[in-house]
Amino acid sequence: MKVAVITFPGSNCDYDCYHALKLVDGIEPGFRWHRETQLGEVDAVILPGGFSYGDYLRAGAIARFSPIMEEVVRFAGGGGPVLGICNGFQVLCEAGLLPGALTRNTTLRFMSHEVHIRVENAGTIFTSRYETGQVLRVPIAHGEGNYQADQATLAELEGDGRIVFRYSTPGGELTPEANPNGSAHHIAGIVNEQGNVLGMMPHPERAMEGLLGSCDGRGVFESLAEALATPAAGAGLE
């Protein structure tokens, strides 16, 4: 299966994503530059972390108008799996592929450390290798990860099981201290209505090898590989 990693000027997790994908059986990663107008033959797309366009104006605001993004929006519209990590999540929100927005951390600091996230829905194509309720240890590295949306949107996300990850304690509790950036409802990751677009602030691609601290991110890429290998790939939420 071919997975395209999009590189914007200022992306800095594109090679990490490439490396993570290489570790997963059956996945053949490749890069696409933001100026390209064709995705080519791909089975999934990853928008990596970083500081596309220097985070000028708002994180992700300018990247969404990159030529390649038109293709990504079209690909997602056709049910193609798209995963946005960190800055990629911000781009997905700016592009309107996911609702809400990522605003300044309530701490006003750039937060770069490990957090715990609870898997809220193991029925997505990105989380099938996890159990609902399972707690993962993965790093975050962002200044604008505070997820906000209006009450109606939050209620919809809650009601439809579209909150995929929430910041929690190692034991899976949702205490205020466990929420590193002030996100509404402890949201660390959400999917779109069709279930084929996931945005998440934590970095699963940085939690792939035990030697580097945690393997807990592997499940995201392995779930995706599994979904792509099954004929009904692209199927959404359960």
User: Which residues make up the interface to other proteins (CB under 8 A)?
Assistant: 57-58, 61-62, 65, 93-94, 99-101, 103-108, 146, 148-150, 182
CB of 57 to other proteins, least distance (A): 7
| β-strand pairing of 197-200 with 82-85 | parallel
φ/ψ region of 230 (left if φ > 0, alpha if ψ in -120 to 50, else beta) reads beta
Point out the catalytic residue in the list 86, 116, 144, 186.
Answer: 86
CB of 31 to other proteins, least distance (A): 26
CB of 104 to other proteins, least distance (A): 5
Q: Which is nearer to other proteins, 93 or 178 (CB)?
A: 93
- Name residue 189's beta-bridge partners: 165, 200
| Coil/strand/helix, residue 162 | coil
Amino acid at residue number 58: R
Point out the catalytic residue in the list 71, 94, 144, 205.
Answer: 205
Q: Which is nearer to other proteins, 181 or 196 (CB)?
A: 181
Q: What is the rounded (10 degree) CA torsion for 101, 222, 110, 158? A: 40
H or E segment to which residue 28 belongs: strand 28-33
Is residue 36 part of the annotated active site? The answer reads no
Q: Which is nearer to other proteins, 101 or 237 (CB)?
A: 101
DSSP string, 71-119: HHHHHHHTT--EEEETHHHHHHHHTTSSSSEEE--TT-S-EEEEEEEEE
Length of the chain, please? 238
Amino acid at residue number 169: T
Is residue 86 part of the annotated active site? The answer reads yes
CB of 106 to other proteins, least distance (A): 5
Is residue 222 part of the annotated active site? The answer reads no
Q: Which is nearer to other proteins, 93 or 191 (CB)?
A: 93
* Active-site residue list: 86, 203, 205
